Amino acid sequence: MVVPEGYIDTNVFVYWLGGHPTFGRRAHQWVKRVEEAGRGSYATSSLTIYQTMVVVAGLTGRDLREQKFAEEIAHSITALRGLYIAPLTRGDVIEAAALMREYRLDYEDALHLATALRIKAKEIISNDRDFDKTPLKRRWE
C-alpha cells in the first residue's frame, strides 16, 4: 500500500453528501482532490462509511433499511479513485482507548487516529479541532 498523504475524517463526507451550508463547499473541494489523486493517495477507515450513513440518514430522515440509500452512500465513497478504505483492526480498537487518554479524544476520534497512525497517514483532513492535539497535522483549508 502507498503511504497516504491524508486520512479523510467522517465529517468531510457528511458535509459533502449532506450539502452542509457552511462546510459543504470545502468538503466538496476535498472530495474532488481525492477523486483526482492517484490510487491510495488518501485513506479513510471502513468505520467512516458506516458513520457517514448513520449521520446522513439522520439529516435526511432516510432509513438504513433502505437498500438503495445504503448503496448510494457506500458507492459515493468507495468509488473515489484516490481513496483507500482501511479496515478497522482489532489493534485499532485496543489502541484507541490508549489514544483517548493520551490526546483527550472521544472514542470515535481515537479510532480514526489509531487507523491513521497505523497506515502512516501524513495528515488528517477534518475541521474537527480535537485532532490538533494529536501528532497528525490537521488540514481543512
pTM of the entire structure? 0.93
CA distance 138 to 47: 19
In tens, the pLDDT along 76-129 reads 999 999 999 999 999 999 999 999 999 999 999 999 999 999 999 999 999 999
Domain that holds residue 75: 6-87+120-127
Q: In angstroms, rounded to a whole number, what is the distance separating the alpha carbons of residues 85 and 105? A: 22
Residue 52 lies in a domain: yes
- For the segment 35-67, what is each residue's pLDDT rounded down to a tens digit? 999 888 999 999 999 999 999 999 999 999 999
Is 56 part of any domain?
Answer: yes
Q: For 72-102, give the DSSP string.
A: HHHHHHHT-TTEEEEPP-HHHHHHHHHHHHH
* Residues 46 and 88: beta-carbon distance below 8 Å: yes
How long, in residues, is the chain? 141
Question: Does any domain span residue 113?
Answer: no
